[in-house]
Amino acid sequence: MSGKLKNSTKHLQWRLECLGHSWIEGLAGWFTAPGMFWLGEALGALGWHLMPQRRRVLMKNLRIAFAGEKDIDEIECMAKASFRRTAGNLMAAAHTARLAPEKLGRVISIENLELLEQALAAGKGVVLLLSHMGNWEILSRLIHMFPPGSRVGAFYRPLNNLLLDARVLARRQVDGTRMFSKRDSFHQVTGFLRQGGIVGILADQRVGRLGDPVSFFGRLTRASPLPSLLARRSKSEVLALSVTTESAGKWVARFMPVEEPSTTAHCMAAIEQAMTVSPVDVFWFQERWKVYLHLSCTIGDWLGPETSDARKPLRGLLWLAEVPDAWRISSAWVHPAVVYEVVLASDQTLPAWLPKTTRVHTVAAGADRGTLQKAIAGIDAGAALPLDFILTTGASKALVKAGRREVVPVVSLP
């Protein structure tokens, strides 16, 4: 496809997305907040059946977050409820974005506001840890319900659709909230905090290798160091905020304390606590515990030396079916927080370099993609925690595609 045609197709897609956004906002003008919420929940119930890949991601996240606390049937019920609730909150957000400031109190209430007042009294600003939960789009409007004279800023990630990004950014700024992006100078943000400002950061989502290794819901992962770094540089107070659905079209925002010192680990512990208030309100649609692995980033590199909390170990699958007997993984792919299982062909035996306690699965030689996908799905479902990654050598296209369909990355090593 030529560059000109590619750009033309992209702009058409942007315009169609903007049209869809306009249609939803127009619809919001005809419905009440509860009406939009119920409509969204109905669409979410339909989406559960029509979006299998999203369904797998949501289930994977919830299995990690609540392994050992809930059985698979309870987790599936929670996943279905979360699918409906997320769609309901997203649709209702189109209505609350249009509300006059004096009407916000009808749809959202704030608890523990005194925590914010006490933090602001120190005069060095407040870093506010936010999560993608409830009607998070309403957060930029809470400035009207904060103590008089509050200056509020928030980080945002620009949308890929530049046309829609401009529209959404303008909407978020209309109430006076200053929006910061990754392009803004770090000193601008710390300066805003030192002047007594409040800066909100949606810090619950996954990050790449630049994140700090921490435990999150009992699973080692990486998290953004930005909240901790800002708080330390500006000597600001740190609070967390949860947003939960009280009833259709009504929400509750709760301020929560963060343990000092405000390290990344303590920040993530506070976010976990906020999300646990109402798990079905959380946006679980991004693969939060995804591991970023390739030849130059091993599992040891990704997890780092952290071993303090491995109560929910990662499940690695060594795909040794039809792999040369002499092949084995290097020490760089061994970590205390990873438990390996192995897949062998029916005529293979467990290699001597693996512990005798290693769990073994078998597959037929020369299996097609569909058979491989069923095998991966069955192995994945065979334990409370989901599979996190597959290691092999000379991976076939069928295996890679099967893993991708089941949201399990395949890493092919030399």
Sign of CA dihedral 189, 192, 193, 198: negative
Q: Is the link from the previous residue into 261 a cis peptide, with omega within 30 of 0?
A: yes
Average pLDDT over residues 138-165: 83
Query: Among 38-42, 67-71, 96-100, 255-259, which stretch is predicted with the lowest mean pLDDT?
Result: 96-100
Query: Among 19-33, 65-79, 304-318, 397-411, which stretch is predicted with the lowest mean pLDDT?
Result: 19-33
Instruction: Say how far residue 60 (Cα) sits from the centre of its chain.
Output: 12
User: In the prediction, which pLDDT does 366 show?
Assistant: 85
User: In the prediction, which pLDDT does 25 show?
Assistant: 66
pLDDT score of 174 more than 80: no
Q: Model confidence at 65, in pLDDT bands (50, 70, 90)?
A: very high
Q: Distance between CA 109 and CA 118 in Å, rounded?
A: 19
Q: Which two tokens stand for residue 105?
A: 């109190």
Q: Model confidence at 172, in pLDDT bands (50, 70, 90)?
A: low
Average pLDDT over residues 108-122: 96
- Say whether domain 299-413 belongs to CATH 3.40.50: yes
User: In the prediction, which pLDDT does 20 show?
Assistant: 66
Whether the predicted model's global pTM rises above the 0.85 cut: yes
Yes or no: say if 111 and 274 are a contact pair by the CB < 8 Å rule. Answer: no
pLDDT score of 162 more than 70: no
pLDDT score of 95 more than 80: yes
Domain spans, the chain: 3-96, 104-281, 299-413
User: In the prediction, which pLDDT does 412 show?
Assistant: 96
User: In the prediction, which pLDDT does 157 show?
Assistant: 75
pLDDT score of 38 more than 70: yes
